Structure 1
Amino acid sequence: MASVGFLGLGIMGKAMAANLVKAGFDVTVWNRNSEKCAELVALGARQGSTPKDVAASCDITFAMVSDPEAALALCQGPDGVAAGIGAGRGYVDMSTVNDTTSKTIAGLISQAGGRFLEAPVSGTKKPAEDGTLIILAAGDQSLYNDVKPAFEVMGKMSPYLGDVGQGANMKLVVNMMMGGMLSIFSEGMSLGQKAGLDGRQILDIVDAGAMSNPMFKGKGAMLLNENYTTSFPLKHMQKDMRLAVALGDQLEQPLPTAAIANEAFKQAIKAGFAEEDIAAVYKVIK
């Protein structure tokens, strides 16, 4: 793969782009707030002036932004990706959006002659830094084959899931389960401690049984230390829960547990914890 672009250098994008630079890829970066590019340029990346400019000068361009609106805005307009992509070049959107947004972006890119892959990721800040994300790819299979070397640098697993929309759907299913688990976990931790149980012992007992999982281990420590340093912003989890519940409406699939968990995350945003880690949902539950 000759040259790659990377648009969006937030918590996730910065770490992912840095791994590509360190692995020897020729990387051009762009971010809405251009100051965030400095760290990557110091590592050896080039800085692009607009998304159009990056898409026009790179064989394949990756994007990692916060939500459907931002993902769409990146592609549209005179300075957008679609204006620069041209024939045969590839665009890989790794943002978490809904299937409708993904299909809209796919349309814009293919109309402009480009190839499109959606590739949302499962994993937060540390997996992004360690290159152990789970990449959920769907769309143009030739582009999937071409970007496999880059996926192998950024993630530990990158299954091909079929048509555009299926990567988005898989991501929403996974995050919906995560949000629901975190909500019931917070209730259990809160109930146990109010009943006089030791929080550390609750975690040890859960960890020794069938419910043992890395999320309870990691987030459990955060709850007990009341340290909500952000690896996955709470507002983004609420956005994913909202999109999952909307998908349930579309498919006439009842999601009572997810709907209630979504309300807990909405309460947490209202209480002012939007920018904190998803574990901060515990604060409104306790």
Structure 2
Amino acid sequence: MTTYGFLGIGIMGKAMVENLLKARFSVNVWNRTGSRCAPLVGQGAVQYQTPAEVVATSDITFAMVSDPAAAEALCFDAGGVLAGITAGKSYVDVSTVDPETSAKIAKAIQDKGGRFLEAPVSGSKKPAEDGTLVFLCSGDKALFDDAQPALDVMGKKSFYFDQIGQGAQMKLVINMIMGSMMTAFGEGLALGDKVGLEMGDIIDVLAQGAINNPMFQLKGPQMANGNFSPAFPLKHMQKDMRLALLLGDEHDQPLFTASAANSIYIKARQEGYAEDDFSASFKVIKKD
């Protein structure tokens, strides 16, 4: 029976581990703030004090952390992932990082005889809870196949791309589109409100047309009611927009719309909305 590890018990990680436990998988867990593991231990997970211990006692270890700096620290710091990697151990990073960070971690894992798969996810809190995430994977194909039972529990679809970095690139492209859509949606709701249209009516009309999508129907009513509880924190969306813009610069691809949207997220962070949901970009768009 495969034993899974999971590093990073945040909004996403907690929900993902809960689904693994519900499927009766054996799961070892670690989080920098150890108390966050307590509810999972109560459901059957085994908690360890360092990432290295989780990796050493697990066949396949997943990690979900906030950004490239956190992913590198998790891997390379004392007591980190690399300290637990030996031949036969497998590491799946589901964090959203830049391709260069992913390649750096992959090489370090492989140099110690381990297997590496990058598998950033498309989806936020609700899909994580429902087990309907989409995994964007690249790296060791055999590990992709071996991890499939866990991926199937946590998600509804897993894509595989040949080259390390392509999973990260796909995630940045997807989140760049989503982040830009959210700011355009916010501007539409704000303009409609200014001219006297009910936001609920705008959302209902959108639902009947070609541009309708689940994000508008989920986030729209929450935005109209002033509910910005974080499913995907705004600070993480701004990080992903920044990484996408850097990717565009590297490949000489202008990203005019994404650049404008990123400016809105930066302003929202400056105004204190970093920990709110990324839909809180609406707060800096809508001015009374």
TM-score relative to the length of structure 1: 0.99
Matches within 5 A, 1:181-260: 181-260=181-260
Q: Kindly provide the amino acid, as one letter, of the partner of residue 173 in structure 1.
A: V
Corresponding residue of 1:264: 264
Post-superposition CA distance 1:158-213 (Å, at most 9, x none): 01112110110000000000010001111111011101111111111111111110
| 1:229-280, Cα deviation, whole Å (9 max, x unpaired) | 1100000000000000000000000000000000000000001000000110
Name the CA distance, whole Å, in 1 between partners of 2:201 and 2:47. Answer: 50
In the TM superposition, residue 57 of structure 1 has moved relative to its aligned partner by 1.1
Q: Distance in 2 between matches of 1:212 and 1:278?
A: 19
SS at 1:204's partner residue? helix
Give the drift of 1:47: 0.6
Sequence identity, in percent? 58
Q: Give the distance between the partners of 2:222 and 2:271, measured in 1 at CA.
A: 19
Report whether the alignment pairs 1:108 with 2:112: no
How many corresponding residue pairs?
Answer: 286
Q: In structure 2, the residue corresponding to 1:106 is in which secondary structure?
A: helix
Q: Once superposed, what is the RMSD of the aligned Cα atoms? A: 0.7
Query: Equivalent residue for 1:120?
Result: 120
What displacement does 1:90 show?
Answer: 0.5
Question: What's the CA shift for 1:219?
Answer: 1.2
User: 1:21 aligns to what?
Assistant: 21
| CA apart distance, 1:227 | 0.7
CA distance in 1, matches of 2:46, 2:226: 40
Structure 1 runs of 4+ aligned residues shifted over 3 Å read: none
> Which residue identity lines up with residue 277 of structure 1 in the other structure?
D
CA distance in 2, matches of 1:78, 1:248: 34
Query: The residue matched to 1:88 in structure 2 has which SS?
Result: coil
Q: Deviations over 1:24-57 (max 9, x none)?
A: 1111000000001111100001011211111111
Question: C-alpha distance in 1, partners of 2:56/2:200?
Answer: 54
| Residue equivalent to 2:276 | 276
3-state SS in 2 of match to 1:159: strand
- What are the superposed Cα offsets for residues 78-135 of structure 1, whole Å, 9 maximum, x if unpaired? 3011111100210000000010110011011111110000000000101101100001
| Corresponding position of 1:75 | 75
Gaps of 5+ in 2: none
Instruction: State the match for 1:60 in structure 2.
Output: 60
The residue type equivalent to 1:285 in the other structure is: I
Is the 8 Å Cα contact of residues 83 and 112 (structure 1) preserved in structure 2?
no
Q: What TM-score do you get using the length of structure 2 for normalisation?
A: 0.98
| Structure-1 separation of matches of 2:85 and 2:129 | 28
Inter-partner Cα distance in structure 1 for 2:18 and 2:89: 22
